[in-house]
Amino acid sequence: MGETGKEEYKIQSFDSETQKLLKTALKDPGNVDLEKVANIIVDQSLKDCVFSKEAGRICYTIIQAESKQVGQSIFRRSLLNRLQQEYKDREDLRARSLQAWICYVTFICNIFDYLRVNNMPMMALVNPVYDCLFRLAQPDSLRKEEEVDCLVLQLHRIGEQLEKMNSQRMDELFSLLRDGFLLQEGLSSLSQLLLLEIIEFRAADWKMTDAAQKYYYSEVTD
């Protein structure tokens, strides 16, 4: 019950009619247009980065409810189709709105974190998620603190899972990050700190040592 309560709380930013639709989808998905629900969730996630961080849990709840109630996966299929569509247009999205792009990366990583098939992350999402993270590791993105911050947050959240799915691509990604940290001009001091922290975090087997936590926390707060 506590979980559903959290989800309902997170949809307060919608108008009352949309809230009603989403509440029904969470509890009784067979009685709503689930393709419409998927589009509403993605649209809001591209506008609202706070919501995009929580949307994975809402999607997971709807998928579970639909599977139990009607034994189908209309919502999951609609959600993945829409994610794929936005993924194909990701360069246009980034050019149009940096915030929408960051929200999209946050959302797709959140979905990767929550959606499971036989208790494993979805293989179909592994390469799209990697591609988004690689884009954040390009020189023009590393010069933007918002993109570095997004990259590091996602790697903290899903880096370990992602590496288990494809370690070679993670090695390639961190090679880019090391080059960026060591060679790139125009990095802010915060971006340098964030990159160093995530490089050390992975080197410590995706764990933060007490000493590192004290060091980075004091640097950021000073």
Residues 119-143: tens digit of each pLDDT: 888 999 999 999 999 999 999 999 9
Residue 65 has φ and ψ, to the nearest 5°, of -65, -40
217 pLDDT tier (thresholds 50, 70, 90): low
Check pLDDT > 70 for residue 218.
Answer: no
In angstroms, rounded to a whole number, what is the distance separating the alpha carbons of residues 203 and 205? 5
**What is residue 4's predicted lDDT score, i.e. its pLDDT?**
43
**What is residue 222's predicted lDDT score, i.e. its pLDDT?**
54
- The pLDDT tens digits of the residues spanning 82-124 come to 999 999 999 999 999 999 999 999 999 999 999 988 788 899 9
pTM for this one? 0.89
**What is residue 183's predicted lDDT score, i.e. its pLDDT?**
85
Check pLDDT > 90 for residue 10.
Answer: no
Average pLDDT, the chain: 90
